[in-house]
């Protein structure tokens, strides 16, 4: 698994052994960032259920100003910190452009309002966590109505959070990863 585009393109990403994380595929990240285009440059991000940090690190490689990663699993958070250091070294920036919190993503940090929110939870917990996350994000993103939420979920699952508009969905097929782009209504 590697950074698929931007200045740090080709930098390999460490992933913890075992089934602690299900990293976003290179193809899915390429599709997401092609859709986001210039919105990434200068943006601040929040990467929830960050795992290896693939979404947020891809954003940094493509010009994001910085952000916050939230990952509960200790092994995954350690890999994420190593990945952040490697990507920042390639970019010629200090790793302090992004913070890594080892915490439950349902406790969305509210300091600093992001432009982009990446959410890639374990698929089996999406029905339980999605309402909590969208409720918290409604509050924390109130000051930034143009902020986008990019939510990775399996193709057979539909999300229709109250107060949010689905802008587009990438990917297709049941049991295949897809991403849904949401904005507050």
The one-digit pLDDT tens for each residue of the chain (185 residues) are 888 888 998 898 988 876 656 667 777 888 999 999 999 999 999 999 999 999 999 999 999 999 999 999 999 999 999 999 999 999 999 989 999 999 999 886 666 789 999 999 999 999 999 999 999 999 888 889 899 999 999 999 999 999 999 999 998 777 788 999 999 99
Neighbours of 3 (CB within 10 A): 25
Instruction: Copy the structure tokens of residue 68.
Output: 């916050």
Q: Which of 8, 66, 58, 67 shows the shortest CA–CA distance to 34?
A: 58
- Structural domain contains residue 74: yes
Residue 29's pLDDT is what? 86
- Structural domain contains residue 142: yes
- Structural domain contains residue 140: yes
Residue 119's pLDDT is what? 96
Give the C-alpha separation, 75 to 134, whole Å.
27
Backbone angles phi, psi at 123, to 5 degrees: -55, -35
Residue 168's pLDDT is what? 95
**Domain total for the chain?**
1
Tell the residue number behind the tokens 């990945």, with chain if given. Answer: 83
- Structural domain contains residue 85: yes
Domain span at 110? 43-184
Residue 20's pLDDT is what? 59
Q: Give the pairing of strands 177-184 and 164-170.
A: antiparallel
Residue 83's pLDDT is what? 95
The beta strands (E) that lie in the chain are given as 44-48, 66-70, 98-101, 116-119, 148-154, 164-170, 177-184
**CATH number for 169:** 3.40.50.150
- Structural domain contains residue 37: no
Query: Packing angle between helix 54-61 and helix 26-36, nearest 10 degrees?
Result: 50
Give the C-alpha separation, 79 to 20, whole Å.
11
- Structural domain contains residue 93: yes
Residue 19's pLDDT is what? 63
């Amino acid at each position: 698994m590697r950074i698929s585009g931007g200045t740090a393109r080709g930098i390999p990403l460490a992933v913890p052994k075992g089934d602690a994380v299900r990293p976003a595929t290179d193809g899915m990240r390429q599709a997401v960032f092609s859709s986001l285009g210039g919105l990434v440059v200068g943006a601040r991000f929040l990467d929830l259920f960050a795992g290896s940090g693939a979404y947020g690190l891809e954003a940094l490689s493509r010009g994001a100003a910085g952000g916050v990663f939230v990952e509960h699993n200790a092994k995954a958070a350690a890999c994420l910190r190593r990945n952040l250091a490697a990507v920042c070294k390639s970019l010629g920036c200090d790793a302090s452009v992004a913070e890594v919190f080892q915490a439950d993503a349902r406790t969305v940090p509210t300091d600093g309002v992001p432009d982009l929110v990446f959410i890639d939870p374990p698929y089996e917990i999406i029905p339980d966590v999605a309402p909590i996350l969208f409720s918290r994000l409604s509050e924390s993103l109130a000051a930034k109505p143009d902020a986008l939420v990019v939510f990775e979920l399996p193709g057979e699952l539909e999300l229709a959070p109250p107060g949010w508009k689905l802008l587009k969905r990438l990917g297709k097929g049941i049991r295949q990863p897809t991403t849904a782009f949401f904005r507050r209504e």
